[in-house]
Amino acid sequence: MMKRQKTENQIRTDQDKIKIDAGHVMAALLLVFILLVSLFAPLLAPYDPYQLDMRHALEPPCAAHLLGTDAIGRDVLSRIMYGGRQSLLLAAAATGLSMTLGCIIGMIAGYFGGKTDLVITAVSNVFQGIPGMTMMIAIAGLMGSGVTSMLLALVITSWVGFSRLVRGEVMKLKQEYFVEGLKGLGAGNMRILLLHIGPNLIGSILIIFATRIASAMLSVASLSFLGLGLQPPTPDWGVMISDARTHFRQVPMLAIAPGVMIVLLSLSINILADALRDRLDVRADVVKGD
């Protein structure tokens, strides 16, 4: 037993000293760079992102406008700098709300089981069966386009992912001896759920949060591209790609620049989410390994 204990601790120590991958560092630096630029866009942007200048419309990249200008002469670089703010904020808010809703529902289903679980699982299955984008378009169509309907659409289509994961984890955790021991001590359900099961879920939730935020960002961009999310003249990457459709052949940079930003941001978040999963999953297995 002692020997096995030492081996587990050894694995844990090795895991703590996990080799830092160059890709992860690049992704982290990129993410921090994008976040800082978005945050300090008002200070860094060379032009006002809403300022029209028809004399310099559709200019290719030049010294005055590093990424050129759009069809109504707005500076593309300034709009790119501002463009991440709304998408990121909306993606974070939608993922945060989905996570809260999914966690509460998943914890109730997993912990109490029985008929409660049956009902929640049936409802989850219905929501999971609906194609995400179709549902988002339907909600945006019903409620009208805008930030509120986009948020609602994102939450409705993504809470199930959190709920299913949390339900499974809670079902596994409630079989653990420490939970049975707590019941034996006289701990109530709320204490067990909030003080013991909850903290043990953080690792798994964090991983799915990081992964989902990237896909939520893509959904925000897609909905804005379709004209159902953020509306022009808001400087947003999805809106910018949508605006660029008519002049794409003439000035390709109009679509390429926001496209590259969407790819870079979602890629960096995904790489970091993967790294987080690799790190936390192994640790979780070691902890539960006995």
Partner 1 sequence: MNNDGMLSVRHLSKSYTRGVVRRQRVDAVKDVSFSIPAGTAMGIAGNSGCGKSTIARMIMGLIPPDDGAVFLDGRQISGLKAGEMKTVRRQIQIIFQHPESSLDPRRKIIESVLEAMEIHGVKQGRAQREARVEELFEMLGLHTRLFQRYPHQISGGEAQRIVIARALTLEPKVLILDEPTSMLDASIQAHILTLLKTLQEALGLTYLLISHDLEVLCWFCDRIGIMTGGALIETGTRTEILEKPEQPFTKKLVESFFAF
Q: Does 184 bind partner 1 (CB under 8 A)?
A: yes
Q: Which of 1, 22, 43, 190 binds partner 1 (CB under 8 A)?
A: 1
Judged by CB under 8 A, the number of residues near partner 1 is 26
The verdict on 8 binding partner 1 (CB under 8 A) reads yes
User: How wide is the angle at C-alpha 179 spanned by C-alphas 178 and 184, nearest 5°?
Assistant: 90
CB closer to partner 1 out of 129 and 186:
186
Q: Which is nearer to partner 1, 9 or 116 (CB)?
A: 9
The residue (of 33 and 178) whose beta carbon lies closer to partner 1 is 178
Q: Which long-range contacts (CB under 8 A, 24 or more apart) does 42-46 make?
A: 44/81, 45/75, 45/77, 45/78, 45/81, 45/82, 46/75, 46/77, 46/78
Query: Shortest gap between Cβ of 196 and partner 1 (angstroms)?
Result: 5
Count the neighbouring beta carbons within 10 Å of the beta carbon of residue 267: 14
Q: Find tokens 């006995």 and name the residue.
A: 290
Give the 3-state secondary structure of 183-215: HHHCCCHHHHHHHHHHHHHHHHHHHHHHHHHHH
If binding is defined by CB under 8 A, does position 183 make contact with partner 1? yes
| CA separation for the pair 110, 205 (Å, rounded) | 15
Maximum alpha-carbon separation in the chain: 79
Least distance in angstroms from the C-beta of 126 to partner 1: 24
Rounded to whole angstroms, the Cα distance separating 215 from 192 reads: 32
Q: Which of residues 194-223 bind partner 1 (CB under 8 A)?
A: 196, 199-200
For 186, the token pair is 């006289």
122 binds partner 1 (CB under 8 A): no
Shortest distance in whole angstroms from residue 18 CB to partner 1: 17
Under rule CB under 8 A, residue 129 binds partner 1 = no
Residue with tokens 């994961």: 165
Binders of partner 1 in range 159-178 (CB under 8 A): 176-178
Binding site for partner 1 (CB under 8 A): 1-2, 5, 8-9, 12, 176-178, 180-188, 191, 196, 199-200, 286-288, 290
